[in-house]
Structure 1
Amino acid sequence: MASPILPSTGVGSGLNITEIVTALVQADTAAKQAQITRQTSNNTAYISGVGALRSALTAFTTAMGKLNEKDAPSFNAYAATSASDSIVKATAGNTAVAGSYSIEVANLATGSKVASQAFVGGASTSIPKGDLLISQGGKNYTVSVGDGATLQSVRDQINSELSASGISANIVTGKDGARLVLGSSTTGKGSDISVSGITALNIDGTKSMATEGAGYIDDVAKDAVLKVDGLEVTSASNTVKDAISGLTLELTGKSVVGSPTTVTVAANNDGLKTSIQGFVDAYNTLQNAITTLTKTTTDADGNMVLASLTNDPTTRSLLKDIRGVLAEVGSGDRLTTLSQLGINTQKDGTLEFNSTKFTAAMNDKKLGAEVQELFTGTNGIFERMNKAIDPYNATDGSLATRKNNLDQVAKNLTEQQAALDRRTESLTESLTKKYVALDTALGKMKAQADQITSIFEAINAQAKKS
């Protein structure tokens, strides 16, 4: 209930009622208000600090994840380049050998593409009930076609049930009618698709549609054929991993006969340096964020100012754990520590990357092939670092628990503030009523006093006349 609006100065007493009530209310609530304000400020700072720390940890682990992508290794000792990516792309691993290779692609690996007989009724043609057996490369898949099926519903059912197996279906309508067309992401000789079980949809994927009415569209599935330094190699896939030790070849097009493409393999020192610098930068960003959250400064008056997580035990424990990972000895044969690559911890906790020492490690000590193991291998730096961080930053980690607890404290403080506001309003209203009543009583007493004074003055005046 809102307090009544009254003049600040009492009519009967001349007292400033508003100032008196305000002073009394503040005297009653000031200590509790100061406590709530102080606790709210501290709690808000902690919430902000924990949020900033979690964001910094997430950014660091994300950066490590990008450096550890399986499809694009960041720590390969060798790099491969192709003279023509439109013919072949090459990726080198740590077991590659520096040199150049002549690659001539005779043909690419292809998958099976088959079509059923033509249906003049189009996609809405009725298909009889039955079990449709789709076979490919020794694997059989059964699609149970129910009553009332059409060519279109059979297509949709195949896509729904077999897409995970790499088999897809569509309907192609030509001048002679609609055909059910099946294709597969599987490539290589012997991967031809055949369909049986429902006569109208029977397909022999090893025979031509042009002569049989149903069958393969252009050709049967084929292996890729290429020559490596003149030696013929076949592959069921256009990704060839075993032709050259340490190299993965991705075939992208056919060569002009007699015009091979050169693939060159060389030490990947620059690439390794860039990746290591990326790790150092990511770690330093995390370290600087933690320093900002925990440092102590002084204001213009020389007073100590604490950051949101200064002296926080959880943050100290986290920092100890991640620094411990950097100091651990790895399981490699010759490369076991970051210092061997020129990476050392500075006084402020950040990492320094000495390019001169790194170059010596690559060129003189030939440690390039072991860099990947140090960072991304089993129990490597990335794995150990994630294990150190996860107990803190996981969805059920200590920082998440801390945030939940702080949110509960914030809720409690909000409730305390609301209760104090209600008390302030109630006390203000109660005291105001009392002082207004007092002022009214004083006003009446003053009026009575003035009346009595007037009576005595009149009596005195009458006495003087007589």
Structure 2
Amino acid sequence: MATDYLNALGASASGLNIRQLTTSLVEADTAARRSAAEKKIASTEVSISALGKVRSQFETLSGAISTVTASSVLKATSSDAALSVSVTDKSLVTEQVTEIEVLQVAQRQVLEFGGFTSADEELGAGSVTIDFGVWYAAEGEEEATTFAQNPSVASSSIAVGEGATLEDLASALSSIPGVTARVLDKGDGTFSLGVVSEPGAGSALRFTVTEASAGNGLARFDTGATNATAQVQAATDAVLSVDGITVARSSNEITDLIPGTTLTVSGTTSAPAKLSVSRDSELAEAAMGYLVEELNNTLKLLGEVTLRAVDGSSSGDLAGDRAVETLKRQLTAMISKPLSGHGDKPVYLSQLGVATNRDGSLSFNASSFQKAFEADPGMFDAMFSDSFSSPTSGVTVTGTLSSAAASGDYAFRIDPVTGEATVGGAQTFAMPGENGQDQYLVLSGDLSGLLVSVESGVTDATIRYGRSFASQLQSLLDGATATNGAIAERETQIEKVAVEQADVLEALDLRATKLESRYLAQFTAMEQAVAKMKSTGTYLENLIAAWNKDS
């Protein structure tokens, strides 16, 4: 067992426990400051944890917004499986019923050049020019032997060198946009070159062959005079009757007949199909209820973490935290704030069955919501969809704006002298539109991305933009949870305090070590002096005793 010589010295001198006394003196010097630093570090850990909960709930609420806004309450249905419809842009869709009959499906032209012995059979040298256009029967003709080139698609040409094979030709043709070619084993000992165009009558193909030497066999691919011998399937447009009006489209995916929807043609119909676009009130109710539920979860958490102690109750982990208190106030204010820019009158959440309770939580009345939705479905749109509109006739508005754009009415003006147009004072870029309209795109400022289309003669108009509740709420959440957002900034501040207090503890440890060394050195010197004095005293006592004995 090791001997504590310092305490042994104390025992033989002053009788004090020097090490215990030293420890007590060092603790008395540092304990208060150490305790304060440790409490601050513990407090920062609690605050960081609470901020993490707030961030997590904000992200959950953000996910709920994404889920609700991604699922449209607009329900599109078709009475015939040969013609389906889906909503692709909620902002352009209106409730309607349209009768559409599919008279003809868009098809690709299919050509077959057969009679080859293998995929590696060599062809004659020369070149093949590929034109895109329409084959049709001219007046007096029974077959489609006349070709009209499509001016919007340039011709292509490929060179066929000496020794080139059927497979080489297929690869060269497939490299041309709008053409697919491959060699097929017929199974009867012969091979064929199959060539396919894009769908649509205007995508048909014409091959014009120039042989390097007359009669070398490459001319078998020439369809310049007629493609009747090679054609397996003709290229056709989709032909539809829309409410009795016949229209044609080059694709079976049609996006411009019913605004905001895509029609998919998979076959002809025996009678007009009814395509209906309507609003699903039950889905709208579920979306609203889901949002209110997540808002309540968020409000509850913010209330708990910022709770201030009353009558001996415990305070929340972030009571008095300015950043979180500010986020709480902003969210509460947003819930009661009117949504402008969605019509002539502002929209309130209370109009959609959402009420604020005395404790700050929200309640949702489904019955009130259904009545409001039935009376004015546009109020629900203000919750989840940004809106662009104009009360001025002959004006349409679209675009994608940043969170900096504020809801409201903006003046559209065309200067009668310069012809330059502005929206809300912001300059625009003019460009030609469709159907004789002119388009003006805002390129800078808060309204950057706004596109205004006006009919000829319109020089003054009112442009209306309304940010949805979901859009405004998402901006608040993004600002709070971003890398440099409010929560991250507060976390950085708190972590800085933790680092500072860790430095304080480290300094106190160093001070304690130095104090201990100093006290031990002083007590050691004291004990040595006391021991010496005790030794001298004992000697004198013994000497006096001896003197007394001799006398």
Distance in 2 between residues matched to 1:273 and 1:350, nearest whole Å: 19
Cα gap change, 1:415/1:111 in structure 2, threshold over 3 Å: closer, same or farther? Answer: farther
Q: Identify the structure with the greater helix proportion.
A: 1
Residue type of the partner of 2:330?
Answer: D
The residue aligned with 1:382 is 470
The residue aligned with 2:396 is none
Residue type of the partner of 2:254?
Answer: V
The residue aligned with 2:320 is 311
Distance in 2 between residues matched to 1:451 and 1:48, nearest whole Å: 70
Residue of structure 2 aligned with 1:240, choices 240, 245, 254? 254
Residue of structure 2 aligned with 1:12, choices 9, 12, 17? 9
The residue aligned with 1:463 is 550
How far has the Cα of 1:25 moved from its partner? 0.9
Cα gap change, 1:404/1:272 in structure 2, threshold over 3 Å: closer, same or farther? Answer: same
Superposition pairs of residues 186-201 of structure 1, within 5 angstroms: 188-191=200-203
Residue type of the partner of 2:298?
Answer: L
The residue aligned with 2:281 is 269
Contact 1:342 1:353 (8 Å CA) reproduced: yes
Superposition pairs of residues 115-130 of structure 1, within 5 angstroms: none
How far has the Cα of 1:270 moved from its partner? 0.8
The residue aligned with 1:422 is 510
How far has the Cα of 1:20 moved from its partner? 0.9
SS at 1:41 equivalent: helix
SS at 1:88 equivalent: strand
Cα gap change, 1:375/1:120 in structure 2, threshold over 3 Å: closer, same or farther? Answer: closer
The residue aligned with 1:413 is 501
The residue aligned with 2:340 is 330
TM-score normalized with structure 2 length: 0.59
Superposition pairs of residues 167-178 of structure 1, within 5 angstroms: 175=185
Backbone CA RMSD of aligned residues: 5.2
Q: Calculate percent identity across the aligned residue pairs.
A: 21
Distance in 1 between residues matched to 2:245 and 2:331, nearest whole Å: 51
How far has the Cα of 1:37 moved from its partner? 1.9
SS at 2:10 equivalent: coil
How far has the Cα of 1:23 moved from its partner? 1.2
The residue aligned with 2:446 is none
SS at 2:333 equivalent: helix
Q: Deviations over 1:207-266 (max 9, x none)?
A: 999977xxx9x75665444566787654334443454x56735427436x6488665555
The residue aligned with 1:339 is 350
The residue aligned with 1:280 is 292
Cα gap change, 1:205/1:310 in structure 2, threshold over 3 Å: closer, same or farther? Answer: farther
How far has the Cα of 1:173 moved from its partner? 6.8
Contact 1:335 1:367 (8 Å CA) reproduced: no
Contact 2:373 2:379 (8 Å CA) reproduced: no
SS at 1:190 equivalent: helix
Superposition pairs of residues 201-280 of structure 1, within 5 angstroms: 219=233, 222-225=236-239, 234-243=248-257, 245=258, 248-251=261-264, 253-254=266-267, 258=270, 266-280=278-292
Which one is further off, 33-42 or 86-95?
A: 86-95
Distance in 2 between residues matched to 1:434 and 1:309, nearest whole Å: 48
Unaligned residue ranges in structure 2 (runs of 5+): 123-128, 134-149, 160-166, 213-220, 388-465
How far has the Cα of 1:288 moved from its partner? 1.4
Q: Identify the structure with the greater strand proportion.
A: 2
Residue type of the partner of 1:32?
Answer: R
How far has the Cα of 1:110 moved from its partner? 5.5
Distance in 1 between residues matched to 2:324 and 2:298, nearest whole Å: 12
TM-score normalized with structure 1 length: 0.68
Unaligned residue ranges in structure 1 (runs of 5+): 126-131, 146-150
Cα gap change, 1:232/1:316 in structure 2, threshold over 3 Å: closer, same or farther? Answer: same
Distance in 2 between residues matched to 1:240 and 1:393, nearest whole Å: 40
Superposition pairs of residues 385-396 of structure 1, within 5 angstroms: 385-396=473-484
SS at 1:336 equivalent: coil
Distance in 1 between residues matched to 2:252 and 2:542, nearest whole Å: 120
Aligned length: 421
Contact 1:57 1:286 (8 Å CA) reproduced: yes
Residue type of the partner of 2:349?
Answer: L
Distance in 2 between residues matched to 1:268 and 1:295, nearest whole Å: 40
Residue type of the partner of 1:463?
Answer: D
Residue type of the partner of 1:296?
Answer: R
By relative contact order (CA 8 Å, sep 6+), the higher-ranking structure is 1
Contact 2:347 2:382 (8 Å CA) reproduced: no
The residue aligned with 2:430 is none
Superposition pairs of residues 24-103 of structure 1, within 5 angstroms: 24-69=25-70, 72-74=71-73, 76=74, 79-82=75-78, 88-91=84-87, 95-97=94-96
How far has the Cα of 1:361 moved from its partner? 1.8
Cα gap change, 1:303/1:373 in structure 2, threshold over 3 Å: closer, same or farther? Answer: closer
Cα gap change, 1:169/1:142 in structure 2, threshold over 3 Å: closer, same or farther? Answer: closer
Distance in 2 between residues matched to 1:361 and 1:308, nearest whole Å: 40
Q: Deviations over 1:249-296 (max 9, x none)?
A: 5427436x6488665555521111111112212222221121122113
Contact 2:119 2:183 (8 Å CA) reproduced: no
Contact 1:224 1:234 (8 Å CA) reproduced: yes
Distance in 2 between residues matched to 1:231 and 1:12, nearest whole Å: 116
